[in-house]
Structure 1
Amino acid sequence: MLMNKIESALIDSPPRRLLQHYEANLLIKLGGCTPGARVAELGCGPGYGTRLILDTFGAVSVDAVDLDPTMLVKARRRLEHHGERVYLARGSAADLAAAFSPVGGGKDASYDAVFDFAIIHHIPNWRDALAEVARVLKPGGRFFFDEVTATALARPTYKALFDHPTADRFSAGEFLAELPRHGLHIGENWRTRVGADYLLGVATRTQDSR
């Protein structure tokens, strides 16, 4: 679902950019960089995370999807100097084949890594999004995620300021437990912050068993 105006403004603010840089460094500690990788990003927002994937993680290219056309305009402006290394599409994180078909992306086992900077908790059918992550990852490919859990979403500030799906929210434990059901091995490469409000980790796609 689309973010409301308050959250949209927040994710395009200097504090969010500073926090995302911090989170990127934590993800690198958990799962390393992605030099030369072909990457898919779920929910690019204003493009700052996409820029981190290219410039900090070292990916060679990023196919990124977002539902919000306003955010895509901002992302295109921010990422213009990266040229053909970036493809931005309007569409659903639960259907990457449809979003990336114009450039031949979104096929089975087509990406070395997938990034989720706090997007999946916005998706009502979040399990389908994880299945899509697993589908497009190559065996051995990595899923980098930074998520907001049901614990945080139940807090008064979140309820007052932001809009999120109200049913089937996931705790940190439920998100971690769902990963292996889609062939994503997490091991010890995860951390929670602020109690269990926020969950970061890097899961690896196991050998193709589909």
Structure 2
Amino acid sequence: MFSLIRRNFSKPKGWIGVITGKIMARENQFINQWTISRLGVRRGDKVLEVGYGPGYALEYILKNYPVVKADGIDISETMKEQASIRLKDYMEAGKTELSAADIGEARIPANTYHKILSVNNYTIWDEPRNGLSHLYEAMIPGGTIAITMQPREENASPNKTKMFGKQIYDDLSACGFERISMKFKRVKPEMTVCVTARKPWK
């Protein structure tokens, strides 16, 4: 059972996906808030979350930053169904839109989002730099992106966290982002990294 749930984290589906979503919401709660705090969300911003899972971070943003629009893209249809229940009122009010698609293939309008975040999702992207290139185009110049990872594998360690941070840093740099910064935080069960960057003004 537990091995099945672990495998389901990359693309939750079915009843196991519902259980997975509840686990993700509980385990990611603190680091979601930490990541959001590093974005510097402002009044009137349009925010995009990649890998929104059960919709906890989007709900947090919409509750705490009322004059924003916060959309999400996630590869899992099960997560879209779960998040749609959580965010029903916001969806009806036009405050959020959810889609189910692979970030490497999604069609996202260019120059739309001021802030983009992704928590514990980056390392399951099929082609991370391709996904980042799409997000680069989707961001307005001067926009900020925050990507957070906390290793959950059996061989998780601070060294693995640092490896994730370097990978994200290098990928952001290769895709044209600037002012890249890495921050580490000790959060059970393992040290966590959040990498932020900006799309340059042209």
TM-score band w.r.t. shorter chain: 0.7 to 0.9
Map of 2:174 onto structure 1: 181
Map of 2:64 onto structure 1: 56
Name stretches of at least 5 consecutive residues in structure 1 with no aligned partner. Answer: 98-105, 157-169
- In terms of mean alpha carbon deviation, does 137-146 or 179-188 score higher? 179-188
Distance 1:59 1:154, change over 3 A: farther
Residues 79-115 of structure 1, C-alpha deviation per residue, up to 9 Å, x if partnerless?
A: 0111211111121112331xxxxxxxx2221111112
Question: Secondary structure in 2 aligned to 1:34?
Answer: coil
Map of 2:199 onto structure 1: 205
| Structural mapping, 1:22-33, within 5 Å | 22-33=30-41
For residue 53 of structure 1, report the CA deviation from its aligned partner: 2.4
- In terms of mean alpha carbon deviation, does 70-79 or 197-206 score higher? 197-206
| Structural mapping, 1:1-210, within 5 Å | 2-3=11-12, 9-13=19-23, 16-58=24-66, 60-82=68-90, 83=92, 84-97=94-107, 106-148=108-150, 153=153, 155=155, 171-188=164-181, 190-193=183-186, 198-208=192-202
Verify the 8 A CA contact 2:45 2:114 in the aligned structure 1: yes
Letter in 2 for 1:183: G
d(CA) in 2 for partners of 1:196, 1:183:
30
d(CA) in 1 for partners of 2:83, 2:154:
30
Map of 1:162 onto structure 2: none
Length-normalised TM-score, structure 1: 0.73
d(CA) in 1 for partners of 2:76, 2:191:
25
Length-normalised TM-score, structure 2: 0.76
For residue 28 of structure 1, report the CA deviation from its aligned partner: 4.6
For residue 123 of structure 1, report the CA deviation from its aligned partner: 1.0
